[in-house]
Amino acid sequence: MFSLLRFVCSFIFFILTVYTSLAQSNAFVFHKLGIKDGLSEGTVRSISSDKKGYMWFGTENGLNKYDGYNFTVYLNQKDNPYSINSNRIKYIFNDSKGNLWIGTRQGLNVYDPLKNRF
């Protein structure tokens, strides 16, 4: 009787171990994104996501917004006061109100999603 109980417990443990390892193997899917996919530069200094689900990547050559399919790149435009103030992005931060703050070598920017500007 003891060996049958031991066998049943071992079998249940084995099934649970296999089931959880299979379930965990499908838990995360990673895709490599790079310059070929539209990223403006290969050195990413900061990564964040916003409340709408966009991924934001701060690089040495611009701020990149990824919607799951395409990149939108924000670069400094010297004659546009509403462009980001520098292409060298150091930090990206979301505050409790959902504002996206971008720290650059030239200072701090806040993104206005309604007007798509800084």
Question: Please, are residues 76 and 60 in contact by the beta-carbon 8 Å criterion?
Answer: no
Question: Please, are residues 59 and 41 in contact by the beta-carbon 8 Å criterion?
Answer: yes
pLDDT of residue 98: 87
Dihedral sign computed on CA atoms, order 49, 112, 75, 89: negative
**3.90.25, 1.20.1260, 2.40.10, 1.10.150: CATH of 43-111:** 2.40.10
Interval 84-111: pLDDT, tens: 999 999 999 999 888 999 999 899 999 9
CA dist 77 and 63 (Å) reads 13
CA dist 104 and 85 (Å) reads 7
Helix (H) or strand (E) holding 21: helix 2-25
Q: Write down the domain spans for the chain.
A: 43-111
